[in-house]
Structure 1
Amino acid sequence: MGHGGDVIAELTTDHREIKDLFKQFSNILPGSEDRKRLANALTIELVRHSVAEEEYLYPAVRKHLQDGDALADKELAEHARVERLLAALQQREPADLDFDRLVVKLYTEVTAHVYDEESHLFPRLRNGVHSYVLEELGNKVRRAKKSAPTRPHPGAPSTPPANKLLAPGLGMVDRVRDYLSGRGQ
């Protein structure tokens, strides 16, 4: 959940962990309860990651990069698609006919998003933003992930200041629900 380094290193490490969860998922037999466990783990990590990006990365993109508003808006639209898929997936069981189909769609969306960030957005940030700012953003992202929600909330705001105000409360409620249900344990 917190790896250290600047925002690019932090988020890239998250990407690798998410990719590993998808790989683990693909090695489990369809219909298995382990698939639900991994789908929950993917959801937890993707939601935390997305919330942290929405709170700190995309506002920095808007502030520091030429055409930053358009870039941030594109990234937020991708997040919204992923969050809708995660919400649908949370309503399914591994034996449901569309469970695996939803995971494949999720994999496709996430993989494209990661590729775009790592190939285009992150190099622009590395070249256009002072290393001190990137380091501070890494610290903020790590803090945000600790209090972020663990479940999709497609109707929640995705831009500051509303997301920064609501996310910690939603995160606390989600963690209580997770504890009581054993989700993510």
Structure 2
Amino acid sequence: MSEKQNDVIEVLTRDHRRLEALLSELTSTSEPQERRRLADELTVEVLRHSVIEERHLYPEVRRRVPGGTEIADKVIIDQTEVDKHLHRLATADLSGADFEPLVTSLMEDLDAHIRDEENYLFPSLTDHFESDDLVRLGERIESAKREAPGEGLTDRVRDHLGRDGPGRD
């Protein structure tokens, strides 16, 4: 694997394309069970992505990028809007009339989050991090993605899906 493929920008950009592909699949099917499966998969992937960014990326951005606190705060606000839509999607009737407007809103907010990261945050990373630091951060994020979901992610997924997990009342 080349160094560029482990660069944090490449790692997170691949995540963004994966999220967009899942959303595209969700909008292209009309079968309620497939919609539920894709909605749940999208929710897990979005939450995994955001938890990893919150734990690994944003603290570095706040420390090392001039104006990094404002940049991180903006993408976190975008993420909060995405999270609200995911929560509604978790309990929505995916065969009902609410599905299309809900998914359209989700698409708009997820797109805004991705655009903010790719157009503002990522250029700041290349301006203020050495390429070795970007690779190390990318490898740390890849490692976090491979690990079993931590309790924080598991709890967030359960909360967003509005469901109890195994052993929960």
2:9 counterpart residue number: 8
Contact preservation (8 Å) 1:51, 1:148: no
| Aligned mates of 1:172, 1:19 — CA distance in 2 | 22
SS of the residue aligned with 1:97? coil
- Percent sequence identity over aligned pairs: 38
Counterpart of 1:106 in structure 2: which amino acid?
L
2:75 counterpart residue number: 75
How do 1:150-165 residues align onto structure 2 when only pairs under 5 Å count?
A: none
1:160 counterpart residue number: none
1:26 counterpart residue number: 27
Deviation, structure 1 residue 18: 1.0
CA deviation vs aligned residue, 1:10-54 (integer Å, no higher than 9, x gap): 00000111111122122212x532111111111111111011111
1:162 counterpart residue number: none
Which ranges of structure 2 fall in alignment gaps of 5 or more residues?
Answer: none
TM-score where L is the length of structure 2: 0.82
TM-score where L is the length of structure 1: 0.75
How do 1:1-185 residues align onto structure 2 when only pairs under 5 Å count?
A: 5-29=6-30, 32-147=32-147, 168-172=150-154
Higher helix residue share = 2
SS of the residue aligned with 1:8? helix
Counterpart of 1:37 in structure 2: which amino acid?
R
Deviation, structure 1 residue 102: 1.5
What CA RMSD, in Å, does the superposition of the two structures yield over aligned residues? 2.3
Change (3 A) 1:80 1:49: same
Contact preservation (8 Å) 2:11, 2:138: yes
